Amino acid sequence: MTDAPPIHSIDTRAIRIPLTRPWGPDVTDIRVVAVTVRDADGGEGHGFSWTPSIGGAAVKALLDEDVIPAALGRPADPTIWHDLWRHVHEAGGGGVTTIALAGVDLALWDLRARRAGASATDVMGRRHERLPAYGSGVNLHYPLDELVAQAERWVEAGFEAVKIKVGKPDLAEDLERVAAVRAVLGPDRALLVDANQRWDLETATHAIEAFAEHGIGWIEEPLRADDLAGYRELALRLLGLGVDMPIAAGENLHTVHRFRDFLDAGALGVVQPNVVRVGGITPFLEIAELARERGVELAPHLLPELSAQVAYTLPETTWIEVVEDAGFGPLGALIEPTGVTVADGWVTGGPALGLGLRFR
């Protein structure tokens, strides 16, 4: 399988990172579990698990009590991911289990790259020097003037696409906000909207049809993330109505198997795996290959300082999501910059060695 030396030890450390502006009453910070893997030859790799506020303690407990004991003595290489996933599968095929596994997987990719004296991107095989970024915000609770001001900042920063939250109790208010942001963007920039699972099937159908006149690039998570039957029916309804608006989802799908279910059902036009929530780089690459086989667009969810490093290696050009004031760098969470930068609507750069993601 691999000639990597065995894993000698794994340490975890819980970190709480306050958000500059809360994403909502229940999300005021980000929880990170920093993971350090050491091999028998003295090599060291750094990874992390991540969740917005909810579940960080459970992730650390699963790592400490179940993942780490199963990993010790195995080769210090990402190829052990599937064995570890099978080991923790009784606790759930995805969710807390895959989030926990990501910490080890990322650390092992970091270690593999450090052994090679290269960046993780170059070890995986770089295909892009830069990727387009879109400005994103957790902004449903922003008053209209603040939402418009945020959109103006995105335009000034050079973003050619932006995403806003929708899902107000009154559709008329959503439409007012969408129209106001479209006026800021003009006709040529892409406007994406994200309902964050707030609607039922009837509400989603009605809202999406109403949004269509504003030239929406995609509608994200209109229904509960696990409602496969609902997504399939919604896609059929939009087709019947002649509404050409791709449905995007995936930030709350956790395995390649669930992504395959949604794609086989014809439910999605855009898949949005989160590198950490799916379990790390190893399963993310499998999901990206599946999307490529099915001819469906892929757009990584959040974590631009990590997502970009992986997306640089994909054959297709993918959009990188940049949430205002929410990156690890802007939040002051990292020991040193990763080298991933966002300027003029593009993501470029990265670390010279490994993944370059080490937390204070």
- Would you list the DSSP string of 22-48? -SBTTBSEEEEEEEEEEETTS-EEEEE
d(CA 163, CA 156): 15
- DSSP conformational letter for 80: G
**Residue-wise pLDDT tens for the chain (360 aa)?**
479 999 999 999 999 999 999 988 889 999 999 999 999 999 999 999 999 999 999 999 999 999 999 999 999 999 999 999 999 999 999 999 999 999 999 999 999 999 999 999 999 999 999 999 999 999 999 999 999 999 999 999 999 999 999 999 999 999 999 999 999 999 999 999 999 999 999 999 999 999 999 999 999 999 999 999 999 999 999 999 999 999 999 999 999 999 999 999 999 999 999 999 999 999 999 999 999 999 999 999 999 999 999 999 999 999 999 999 899 999 999 999 999 999 999 999 999 999 999 999
pLDDT at 245: 97
Question: What is the DSSP pairing of strand 346-348 with strand 341-343?
Answer: antiparallel
Do 275 and 98 touch, CB atoms closer than 8 A? no
d(CA 277, CA 198): 20
- 70: amino acid identity, one letter: A
| CATH classification code of 122-348 | 3.20.20.120
Compute and round to an integer the Cα radius of gyration of the chain: 20
pLDDT at 232: 98
Do 251 and 272 touch, CB atoms closer than 8 A? yes
| CATH classification code of 7-116 | 3.30.390.10
At a CB cut-off of 8 Å and minimum separation 6, what does 239 contact?
A: none
d(CA 110, CA 105): 9
d(CA 275, CA 290): 15
> CATH 3.30.390.10 region(s) of the chain?
7-116
Q: Output b/e per residue, 101-127; b: 16+ Cβ within 10 A.
A: bbbbbbbbbbbbbbbeebbbbbbbeee
- Strands (E) across 19-170 are located at 29-39, 44-51, 130-136, 161-165
pLDDT at 357: 98
Active site residue ranges: 165, 301
Do 64 and 12 touch, CB atoms closer than 8 A? yes
> CATH 3.20.20.120 region(s) of the chain?
122-348
- The pLDDT tens digits for 305-350 are 999 999 999 999 999 999 998 999 999 999 999 999 999 999 999 9
